[in-house]
Amino acid sequence: MSLPRRLLTAVRPALQQASSVPRKACRQAQHTFPSAPQRSNSASTKLHNHAKRSAQLAVSEPEAEPVAESTNPALSFPCLDKLESRSASLSSRSSGPEPSYTTGKHLNFHSREPILLDWGGILPEFNIAYETWGSLNKDRSNAVLLHTGLSASSHAHSTDINPQPGWWENFIGPGKPLDTAKYFVICTNVIGGCFGSTGPSSIDPANGERYATRFPILTMEDMVRAQFRLLDALNIDKLYASVGSSMGGMLSLASGTLFPERVGRLVSISAAARSHPYSIAMRHTQRQVLMMDPHWNRGFYYDGVPPHSGMKLAREIATVTYRSGPEWEQRFGRRRADPSRPPALCPDFLIETYLDHAGEKWCLSYDPNSLLYVSKAMDLFDLGQDTRSRMNKVRQGNASKLQAYRDGRAPAADPQSDLCSLTLPEVPYEEKEQPAEEGSANIDAVDVAPADLVAGLRPLANTPALVLGVASDILFPAWQQKEIANTLKRTGNKNVTHIELGEEKSLFGHDTFLLDLKNVGGAVQSFLG
């Protein structure tokens, strides 16, 4: 008798006995399992540790032949053990599991005036966390508004009340690109963020509870309008310059289009005038892995374990887009962390350990809901005239909501009040063959600026602009900055400086704006000076 048949003969009596158990008893047995939260919070739960096959096939027949162990030992998964251990430790914290998101002390602007958001949401009041460097001159004409990337705080440079180095530490100071001997530099944390400005983790004054996913959908323009409320409070009528990189470069463009008379010049680095499919796709995958973490709980996790596993994976995906393949080839190659040991399914190659570390150090330092809302605002960004006209109509239609709130009245019934409840299409997307002339694979088309984008950027026709891109950037490829520059020139703007750093100058990809003081900082300093 072959081995498989001997096994079947051995276990058949046990299987027959199990099949004779009444269904009612089976249902009762099912109810003895702990609830889902109990299982997820148990430090001893190891879903990846499988019971031995010999135990699964054990029978009471004394004459049954013993079942052999597996040919190979089970792999260990220390990376999963670490995630489970973190969940257990967060669950047992007496002070509450949700970490406090902060990068240190900062200034705060509190607006008691409600703000209407583009998609109809209302913030009854809001905070803007900000920091400043340098001094405002007598006529208040030397202010530079520095916009942040997606996950950055207002702490771009060290201050007296927060001496920790900031995210643009080497770019700000006397004689630096943002010269504090000349300029009064202001940096804010955007609304929707979690470093002091009002966002999903903030308390809703209407009910005293955290907004969570009751926080309204944001746009980049909403963030800019809130920033200009701060400028109003500081009595700054016109900026000397608006400066930003990545998401900040998008905010800088939005500032100039919304308030052209209040922006003297603008700098946009490694950004786009409209989000393109690749960057939308990458942010979508980050949101999906975060939202699929069971701890996310549809955004209401603040009294429980935060979705740290989803945040870690989201950051790892993001990190892949922040650097370039050639740089990683130089830094890591195909080297493994420990070539003397057998390969593992947990981080094994040096590049894997780098991504793992990037996710580890970030997964509890930024609010997951803020990542969802701010990244979605980036996806929605489009300065084309069609989108701007459509959003202006939406704002006009929602203006009555703001007036009703100010008057203490309930807003009029909206027949489309369920617009924020999306319905997925019944028929999934299917690939369709497109005529060659309709394809968009030819990025040389940016040499001819789209008419819709030219119309949308026309408010910037008289604003001097520096547009800088990096050839090794895969998140915001250099052709997107070329599109901005060509579009600005098509508006009639005669003062557009376009710089592209080739791979011979920088292999740092999208993160070049954080690292390259010589080329990025030098270009900014020359343009502003």
DSSP lists the bridge partners of residue 307 as none
Q: What is the DSSP letter of 510?
A: G
Exactly one of 155, 510, 511, 516 is catalytic; name it: 510
Place of tokens 């072959």: 2
Identify the CA nearest to 224 among candidates 194, 261, 250.
Answer: 250
Per-residue DSSP letter, 255: H
- Name the residue among 252, 320, 280 with its Cα closest to residue 468: 252
Name the β-bridge partners of 116. 122
Q: Which residue has the tokens 């690292």?
A: 515
User: Is residue 305 within 8 Å of residue 91, measured between CB atoms?
Assistant: yes
CA angle 483, 484, 486 (to 5 degrees): 65
Query: Nearest CA to 324 among 501, 450, 59?
Result: 501
Pairing of strands 496-501, 465-470: parallel
Distances (CA, A) of 245 to 138, 150, 497: 29, 10, 16
By the 8 A CB rule, do 506 and 269 touch? no
In this structure, are residues 262 and 228 in contact, taking their beta carbons and an 8 Å threshold? yes
Residues in the chain: 529
Largest pairwise CA distance in the chain = 98
Please, where are the H alpha helices in 292-367? 308-322, 325-331, 350-362
Catalytic residue among 242, 246, 252, 255: 246
Judge contact between 498 and 485, C-beta under 8 A: yes
Residue 473 appears among annotated catalytic residues: yes
Identify the helix (H) or strand (E) that includes residue 268.
Answer: strand 266-269
Q: Is 246 a catalytic residue?
A: yes
DSSP letter for each residue of 143-210 = EEEEEP-TT--S-SS--SS--S--TTGGGBSTTSSB-TTT-EEEEEPPTT-SSSS--TTSEETTTTEE
| Helical packing angle, 247-258 and 368-380, nearest 10° | 50
Distance CA 477, CA 49 (A): 43
d(CA 404, CA 412): 8
Burial status of residue 229 (CB atoms within 10 A of its CB: 0-12, 13-18, 19 or more): middle
Beta bridge mates, 122: 116
- Contact 315/334 with Cβ under 8 angstroms? no
- Catalytic residue (one of 382, 452, 473, 516): 473
Helix, strand, or coil (residue 414)? coil
3-state percent helix, strand, coil for the chain, nearest multiple of 5: 40, 10, 45
Catalytic residues: 246, 473, 510
